[in-house]
Amino acid sequence: MAIQIKVPTVGESISEVTIANWLKKDGDVVKLDEVIAELESDKATFELTAQSDGVLKILKQQGTTVPIGETICEIEPGAAQAPQPPKAPATASTPQPQKTESKVSGGIKEMKVPAVGESITEVTISTWLKKEGDFVKLDEVIAEVESDKATFELPAEATGILHIVAKEKETLPIGGLICKIEITGESPVTEPQEKKETAVSASSGGSDKSYAAGHPSPAAAKILSEKGIPANQVQGNGVGGRITKEDAVKAQPSTTKPAETKAQPSQAAPVISSGGSRNIRKEKMTSLRKTIAKRLVSVKNETAMLTTFNEVDMKPIMDMRSKYKDQFKEKYGVGLGFMSFFTKAVCAALKDFPAVNASVEGDEIVYHDYCDISIAVSTPRGLVVPVIRNAELLSFNQIEGEVVRLATKGRDGKLSIEEMTGGTFSITNGGVFGSMLSTPILNPPQSAILGMHNIVERPVVKNGEIVVRPIMYLALSYDHRIVDGRESVSFLVRVKEMLEDPGRLILGV
């Protein structure tokens, strides 16, 4: 009896996932716990493993959006791949035309926009893979449809002649009419096989490509978008020529320079002799980018966000790191970075100013007696914010180890939903990209976020003398609904004092 593999529960707020990539093909022999597919939600990408040994039967195709708990494939235990039937020998005689006549039943099947998610109210027709009047078969993919969370394929609900109602790029509500299928029994009269093969050979060079040729999978589309590479510049090696995640990872931007043009006599406007381009490119936002955009706009509209600034002399920390970094690395196996100092300083200050560690829940303020620190990590898919749990109880080496572990998983797309939810305060380091000063935006439902910036040697006054010190600007954005100006400024001053005297962090004073 075949074992059904269903979409597992991957997070409290996630109701559906998209099949980003099938790593095995239909009919392949798979082993227990072998990774067979990659699934992605609007928050993370995760792997799907085989639940037994056997032969894989794929029920949901790549790019399809599937609700939690629905069956996406089956595994037939102990079965072997079916042998391919021998091909019939070719004959010298001219093949006869296929005389199969269409059998029209007279019925019309109306295809409407299906329900694709609890919070989705409309979709857009992204691409028609079949044309008006084409013959289509039951369950054959005829179009690609997009929502604000994912792209999924639309299969034909009957066999017959396609009549398109909704045009490409048209937006329809759930239940809206997409197309009609004039139901027939079999395909219409076809041309002789020899002529058909000749036409295919002349038009496509004999290539065995389907509608998927040149179309990236959702995971591949996100990677290409981040790299700024158009899909038409990438060779697809997936089924039917589809661009897979691996193709996108290996793809490199084109280095071909525009051809030079001959110089023209100056009559009116100057003529550009070489280089330059006035081309434009439009790309759909990825699901993750759409989610980030909605959350950022929501924060600006629903919170009273303000930012306060200060500066910190980093010389004491830099001197301590220079003195002990080799011994620290040798003993604990991780480097001694700035993040552990900032995390410990923030945890100490949060104990003194609990409102900065709180959040708003309806008409109530929720205070936390622990410090779950969210660390912003930039990845090819976008910004993710994994959480260091109970950071106030961790040592310097434990914090550094957690930062390395979470950052590595984030860049590899392996973070789980649990690892990215539940933080009480955030730290973001724009300094690694060269930022001098910025106003970080809140990570809801948290009430504050600390922004670190680059370290620059600046002239400052110490004991009445002008000296050069490595200075970092700090920015604290906070929700003024529950954090007053006095608390925010005092919190940032406390962080500054502890960083400029790191011995206080070690002694806990």
Name the active-site residue from 352, 412, 484, 501.
484
**Tokens of residue 454, six digits:** 């680059």
Residues whose CB is less than 8 angstroms from the CB of residue 452 and which lie 6 or more positions away in sequence, other chains included: 338, 342, 427, 428, 429, 430, 431, 472, 474
CA of residue 449 relative to chain centroid, distance: 23
Contact 154, 127 (CB under 8 A): no
Among 142, 164, 161, CA closest to 152: 142
Is 484 tagged catalytic? Answer: yes
Burial class (CB in 10 A: 0-12, 13-18, 19+), 239: middle
What are the structure tokens assigned to 120, written together?
């989705």
In degrees and rounded to multiples of 5, residue 150 shows phi and psi of -160, 165
Q: Quick check: is 453 catalytic?
A: no
Bridge partners (DSSP) listed for residue 460: 467
Which DSSP state fits 216?
Answer: B
**The two structure tokens encoding residue 289:** 């980018």
Exposed/middle/buried for 205, CB within 10 Å: 0-12, 13-18, 19+?
exposed
* Burial status of residue 61 (CB atoms within 10 A of its CB: 0-12, 13-18, 19 or more): middle
Residues 488 and 476 sit within 8 Å (Cβ to Cβ): yes
Instruction: Give residues with Cβ within 8 angstroms of 451, minimum separation 6.
Output: 428, 429, 430, 438, 439, 440, 474, 475, 476, 477
Residue with tokens 């398109």: 164
Beta strands in 257-379 (DSSP E): 305-313, 359-361, 364-366, 373-375, 377-379
On whether the CB atoms of residues 203 and 121 are closer than 8 A, the answer is no
So which residues are the catalytic ones? 480, 484
